[in-house]
A and B are shown apart, each in its own frame.
Chain A
Amino acid sequence: MLIRKSPEIPSSEITPRSTFEAFHSNRRRFLAGMGSVGAAAVASSIFSRDAFAATTKLTTVPSKYTVNETVTPEAKAQSYNNFYEFGTDKGDPAKNAHTLRTRPWTVKFEGLVAKPQTADIDSIMKYRPIEDRTYRFRCVEAWSMVIPWNGYSLAEIIKWAQPLSSAKFVQFTSLADYGQMPQLGWSGINPPYVEGLRMDEAMNPLALLTFGSYGETLANQQGAPIRMVVPWKYGFKGAKSIVNIKFVDKMPHTTWNNLSSTEYGFYSNVNPSVDHPRWSQAHERRLDGTGGIFPKTIPTLPFNGYANEVAGMYAGMDLRKNF
């Protein structure tokens, strides 16, 4: 792997967060910082092997991309997860994901880019201010939550990665490590988990490169340390624990589409008028802890309520065919 390290840069040069925004347009300094922060992260991780599962507080800034709905309690959002690499029951990831090692962690940017690069997670996190974005989260299984995510637009890091004009799609690959994921062989998915977006979807400011939730770094079971959240699509479109972002010219294979193409399309935009073979998508159970034993069943909105922001990207497409 191409981990850029420049040990000659003293650690005193690592940019403090407060001054970062002032020069974040300066790519050269950013890249230099990335290298040294990477080296520092590798070194510090040696001393914090036991602290993987713990989340830490994030410094965040507000965002206009936020909904004002009852937020799902944090404990619920972090104990009810689909992360098949850690077991197929929704309670499994919270029980099993403590074995995930989130440091050191690097993400490789490759494919149709000016130059393939590998970036350290801590430098990616410092590249742009981390925003508070409360999004609706709609699972294909007909339940939904409202989750305050922390991250910045994927578009920012894509611009940094400099894809070629021939790049039409982005493919995300999740970690697949049998050592850290003992349940991987039983997950039913063919590892690694892959997901993808069309370039314009990836560049849409709503597509969130996510590092945290509820003001803290992601819990392992949510896909720490870096995942995608694409709020107008079903939850599975958001790849977790991403290790590779590849720019390609053809529509990439995606895990659930490979498993069952009649059930899960590439686009998988939330659409109340296209049923899943097993679930009507017209309604959803909003899991926000307010319903008691009776479910709070609400109508599902086209594009999960984000039609104003995203519907234009699909103008002229038959969304029943391109489900």
Chain B
Amino acid sequence: MPARAIPYLKIVAHVLCLLPFLWLVHMYRNGALANETDPVNFLTHFTGNWALWILLTDLAITPVRRLSPSLSWLVRFRRMVGLYAFFYATLHLMIYVFLFSGYNVPAAFAGVRAGHLAEPFRQFKLIWPTIYSDITKRRFIQVGFLAWLILLSLAVTSPLRVLRAMGGKNWQRLHRLIYVAAALACIHFWWLVKTGVKTPWKDTAVLVVLLLARVVYAVWKRRRTPARATVRTA
């Protein structure tokens, strides 16, 4: 892949990653979103699904590029795709806080328009007990929130400057938490669906394959390394 093509490919990748969000905007503008039977439920699932799918896509980059040295340019898309996973996970969280929890958005807007700038906070205080009890009582919320916190820490440490400041080793150690985030996201999915529902199996299968690919690669690499070492010493 010629280096010149990378910026263009990045534009394509940006557009692809933004498509789900643009679709939501489209649905909002043509009224299809409001016409959903349970718009909040739709939004929650839509953003949650895309956060997980983009996260899995991000995790697929490394195994795929290892297939051939000619694919090594793919690594340059890892951060960007990861940040989009964080973007959709954040939307997902926002929808939970401001729509799912019972937050009265129209009242908050009306308050601000009438000059009561504290109204959004007052509204938040009203629903905080619900959110608090969710965080303390519901394990699917706990793992989901933890996954988002991990993605947040990866997002804030993603700039090159932070990487240099942290040192490559530390940075890599921290960023390995992406596997934990993906696993937590799948657990979040399993714990939120009703008993007996198997919807998350596809996402889980993809994650398992992606993790196995890494195990296979590590084993393969370990087997090759000593062989090479003996050749070198001979």
Hey, which bits of chain A sit against chain B, CB under 8 A? 76, 79-80, 84, 88-90, 143, 186-189, 256, 259-260, 263, 275, 277-278, 280, 282-283, 285, 287, 291-295, 297
Name B133-150 residues within 8 Å CB distance of A.
Answer: 133-134, 137-138, 140
Contacts of B41 in A (CB 8 A): 143, 285
Contacts of A292 in B (CB 8 A): 34, 39
Segment with Cβ contacts to A, from B11-19, B98-106, B157-165, B215-223? B98-106
Contacts of B137 in A (CB 8 A): 275, 277
Q: Is the CB of B38 within 8 A of A80?
A: yes
The SS class assigned to the A binding surface is loop
Q: Does B196 contact A (CB under 8 A)?
A: yes
Closest Cβ neighbor of A283 among chain B residues: B102
Interface string of B167-191 (1 = CB under 8 A from A): 0000000000000000000000001
Q: Is the CB of B196 within 8 A of A188?
A: yes
Q: Is the CB of B99 within 8 A of A295?
A: yes
A282 to B193 alpha-carbon distance, docked (Å):
20
Q: Does B211 contact A (CB under 8 A)?
A: no
The SS class assigned to the B binding surface is helix
Q: Is the CB of A188 within 8 A of B194?
A: yes
Q: If the complex has contacts A189-B196, A275-B137, are A293 and B38 also in contact, measured as CB distance less than 8 A?
A: no
Closest Cβ neighbor of A260 among chain B residues: B195
Q: Is the CB of A295 within 8 A of B192?
A: no
Q: If the complex has contacts A143-B38, A293-B39, are A188 and B195 also in contact, measured as CB distance less than 8 A?
A: yes
Q: If the complex has contacts A188-B195, A293-B33, A297-B102, are A278 and B140 also in contact, measured as CB distance less than 8 A?
A: yes
Q: Is the CB of A295 within 8 A of B39?
A: yes
Q: Does B40 contact A (CB under 8 A)?
A: yes
Q: Does B198 contact A (CB under 8 A)?
A: yes
Contacts of A186 in B (CB 8 A): 198
A280 to B140 alpha-carbon distance, docked (Å):
13
> Would you mind naming 12 contact pairs between A and B with Cβ atoms under 8 Å apart?
A79-B37, A80-B38, A88-B198, A188-B198, A275-B133, A280-B130, A280-B134, A287-B38, A293-B43, A294-B99, A295-B39, A295-B100
Closest Cβ neighbor of B42 among chain A residues: A293
Q: If the complex has contacts A278-B192, A280-B130, A295-B99, are A287 and B198 also in contact, measured as CB distance less than 8 A?
A: no
Q: Does B153 contact A (CB under 8 A)?
A: no
Closest Cβ of chain B: how far from A226's Cβ, in Å?
24
A169 to B134 alpha-carbon distance, docked (Å):
36
Closest Cβ neighbor of A186 among chain B residues: B198
Q: If the complex has contacts A88-B199, A188-B198, are A76 and B99 also in contact, measured as CB distance less than 8 A?
A: no
Closest Cβ neighbor of A89 among chain B residues: B199
Q: Is the CB of B195 within 8 A of A277?
A: no
Interface string of B14-31 (1 = CB under 8 A from A): 000000000000001000
Contacts of B99 in A (CB 8 A): 293-295
A292 to B28 alpha-carbon distance, docked (Å):
10
Q: Does B197 contact A (CB under 8 A)?
A: yes
